[in-house]
Amino acid sequence: MTTTSPNKSNAVNSGGLDLRIGASGASAVLTLHNGGSNALKVLSHVEAADRHYDWSSIVLVKDAETRSLHFYDDREESHRVVVDLAPGEDLEHVLDVVAWAKRKPNGARPLAAGTYRMWATYEVSEPGDVWNGKLVSPTIAITIP
Protein backbone atom coordinates (compact mmCIF):
# COMPACT_ATOMS: atom_id res chain seq x y z
CA MET A 1 0.00 0.00 0.00
CA THR A 2 1.41 3.39 -0.94
CA THR A 3 0.60 6.25 1.38
CA THR A 4 1.22 9.80 0.33
CA SER A 5 1.89 12.15 3.16
CA PRO A 6 1.43 15.88 2.99
CA ASN A 7 4.64 17.87 3.10
CA LYS A 8 3.09 21.18 4.06
CA SER A 9 -0.08 22.44 5.65
CA ASN A 10 -3.09 21.67 3.49
CA ALA A 11 -6.04 23.75 4.63
CA VAL A 12 -9.51 23.71 3.15
CA ASN A 13 -11.81 26.56 4.26
CA SER A 14 -9.22 27.43 6.89
CA GLY A 15 -10.47 30.92 7.76
CA GLY A 16 -6.97 31.59 9.10
CA LEU A 17 -6.82 28.41 11.20
CA ASP A 18 -3.69 26.29 10.87
CA LEU A 19 -2.84 22.82 12.24
CA ARG A 20 0.68 22.35 13.52
CA ILE A 21 2.26 19.12 14.73
CA GLY A 22 5.19 18.25 16.94
CA ALA A 23 6.50 15.30 18.90
CA SER A 24 7.42 15.15 22.56
CA GLY A 25 8.77 11.71 23.31
CA ALA A 26 6.09 9.27 22.15
CA SER A 27 3.37 11.92 22.21
CA ALA A 28 1.99 13.93 19.33
CA VAL A 29 1.57 17.63 20.04
CA LEU A 30 -1.27 19.08 17.95
CA THR A 31 -1.67 22.84 17.87
CA LEU A 32 -4.47 24.85 16.30
CA HIS A 33 -3.17 28.33 15.49
CA ASN A 34 -5.41 31.24 14.57
CA GLY A 35 -3.35 33.10 11.98
CA GLY A 36 -6.33 35.10 10.76
CA SER A 37 -7.58 38.53 11.77
CA ASN A 38 -10.87 37.34 13.32
CA ALA A 39 -11.60 35.34 16.46
CA LEU A 40 -12.68 31.75 15.79
CA LYS A 41 -14.75 29.28 17.80
CA VAL A 42 -13.07 25.87 17.53
CA LEU A 43 -14.02 22.44 18.81
CA SER A 44 -11.30 21.55 21.28
CA HIS A 45 -12.16 18.19 22.84
CA VAL A 46 -14.88 16.12 24.44
CA GLU A 47 -14.98 15.76 28.22
CA ALA A 48 -15.89 12.20 29.14
CA ALA A 49 -14.29 9.91 31.73
CA ASP A 50 -11.12 11.17 30.05
CA ARG A 51 -10.57 13.65 27.23
CA HIS A 52 -11.38 12.61 23.70
CA TYR A 53 -10.37 14.49 20.56
CA ASP A 54 -13.12 13.49 18.14
CA TRP A 55 -12.06 15.85 15.34
CA SER A 56 -8.37 14.89 15.29
CA SER A 57 -6.60 11.89 13.84
CA ILE A 58 -3.04 10.98 12.96
CA VAL A 59 -1.41 8.66 10.46
CA LEU A 60 1.80 6.83 11.31
CA VAL A 61 3.93 5.21 8.58
CA LYS A 62 6.93 2.95 9.15
CA ASP A 63 8.27 0.63 6.45
CA ALA A 64 5.19 -1.13 5.03
CA GLU A 65 3.01 -0.44 8.07
CA THR A 66 0.46 2.37 8.11
CA ARG A 67 -1.64 3.03 11.21
CA SER A 68 -4.41 5.58 11.50
CA LEU A 69 -5.23 6.60 15.06
CA HIS A 70 -8.42 8.24 16.25
CA PHE A 71 -8.73 9.88 19.63
CA TYR A 72 -12.17 8.84 20.85
CA ASP A 73 -13.47 5.79 22.64
CA ASP A 74 -16.67 4.42 24.19
CA ARG A 75 -18.38 6.85 26.52
CA GLU A 76 -21.68 7.13 28.32
CA GLU A 77 -21.74 10.81 29.23
CA SER A 78 -19.85 13.62 27.61
CA HIS A 79 -19.91 17.20 26.45
CA ARG A 80 -18.10 19.13 23.73
CA VAL A 81 -15.71 21.89 24.68
CA VAL A 82 -15.62 24.93 22.40
CA VAL A 83 -12.74 27.40 22.68
CA ASP A 84 -12.64 31.01 21.47
CA LEU A 85 -9.31 31.49 19.68
CA ALA A 86 -8.31 35.12 19.27
CA PRO A 87 -6.05 36.12 16.37
CA GLY A 88 -2.52 34.86 17.09
CA GLU A 89 -3.64 32.41 19.79
CA ASP A 90 -2.87 28.69 19.96
CA LEU A 91 -4.78 25.71 21.33
CA GLU A 92 -2.46 22.80 22.10
CA HIS A 93 -3.18 19.14 22.90
CA VAL A 94 -0.60 16.50 23.82
CA LEU A 95 -1.74 13.00 22.79
CA ASP A 96 -0.03 9.84 24.02
CA VAL A 97 0.30 7.92 20.75
CA VAL A 98 1.41 4.68 22.44
CA ALA A 99 -1.60 4.61 24.81
CA TRP A 100 -4.14 5.57 22.12
CA ALA A 101 -2.86 2.87 19.75
CA LYS A 102 -3.80 0.25 22.36
CA ARG A 103 -7.44 1.38 22.56
CA LYS A 104 -10.22 -0.59 20.90
CA PRO A 105 -11.09 1.99 18.18
CA ASN A 106 -7.45 1.85 17.03
CA GLY A 107 -7.16 -1.93 16.84
CA ALA A 108 -6.16 -2.49 20.48
CA ARG A 109 -2.60 -3.36 19.52
CA PRO A 110 0.69 -1.68 20.40
CA LEU A 111 2.88 0.22 17.99
CA ALA A 112 6.15 -1.42 17.02
CA ALA A 113 9.25 0.38 18.22
CA GLY A 114 11.00 2.61 15.71
CA THR A 115 10.77 5.89 13.85
CA TYR A 116 7.56 6.74 12.01
CA ARG A 117 6.50 9.49 9.65
CA MET A 118 3.48 11.16 11.22
CA TRP A 119 0.90 13.75 10.20
CA ALA A 120 -2.42 14.85 11.63
CA THR A 121 -5.84 15.88 10.39
CA TYR A 122 -8.35 18.14 12.12
CA GLU A 123 -11.75 17.92 10.45
CA VAL A 124 -15.00 19.50 11.57
CA SER A 125 -18.38 19.34 9.89
CA GLU A 126 -20.76 20.58 12.56
CA PRO A 127 -23.79 22.86 12.59
CA GLY A 128 -23.61 26.12 14.49
CA ASP A 129 -21.09 28.89 14.71
CA VAL A 130 -17.95 26.76 15.20
CA TRP A 131 -15.15 26.62 12.63
CA ASN A 132 -15.80 24.02 9.91
CA GLY A 133 -13.33 22.57 7.44
CA LYS A 134 -10.38 20.24 7.13
CA LEU A 135 -6.74 20.88 7.99
CA VAL A 136 -3.77 18.57 7.41
CA SER A 137 -0.49 19.15 9.24
CA PRO A 138 3.01 18.91 7.82
CA THR A 139 4.76 15.54 8.19
CA ILE A 140 7.26 15.00 11.00
CA ALA A 141 9.14 12.09 12.55
CA ILE A 142 8.23 10.46 15.86
CA THR A 143 10.18 7.70 17.58
CA ILE A 144 8.32 5.04 19.51
CA PRO A 145 10.48 3.32 22.15
Q: Is residue 123 part of a domain?
A: yes
Q: Is residue 1 part of a domain?
A: no
pLDDT at 3: 38
Q: pLDDT class for 117, splitting at 50, 70, 90? A: very high
Q: pLDDT class for 78, splitting at 50, 70, 90? A: confident
Residue 38: how many CB atoms within 10 A of its CB? 10
Least confident of 7-11, 27-31, 84-88, 114-118: 7-11
Over 90: is that where the pLDDT of 5 sits?
A: no
Q: Is residue 2 part of a domain?
A: no
Which H/E stretch holds residue 26? none
Strands 40-47 and 79-85: antiparallel
What is the distance between the alpha carbons of residues 124 and 85, in angstroms, rounded to a whole number? 16
Q: Provide the domain count of the chain.
A: 1
Q: Is residue 29 part of a domain?
A: yes
Q: Is residue 33 part of a domain?
A: yes
* Residue 134 belongs to domain with CATH number: 2.60.40
Are 34 and 101 within 8 A, CB to CB? no
Percent of the chain with pLDDT over 90: 78
Q: Is residue 5 part of a domain?
A: no
Residue 131: how many CB atoms within 10 A of its CB? 22
Over 70: is that where the pLDDT of 8 sits?
A: no
Strands 10-12 and 17-24: unpaired
| pTM, rounded to two decimals | 0.89
Q: Domain limits at 46?
A: 10-144
Bridge partners (DSSP) listed for residue 67:
60
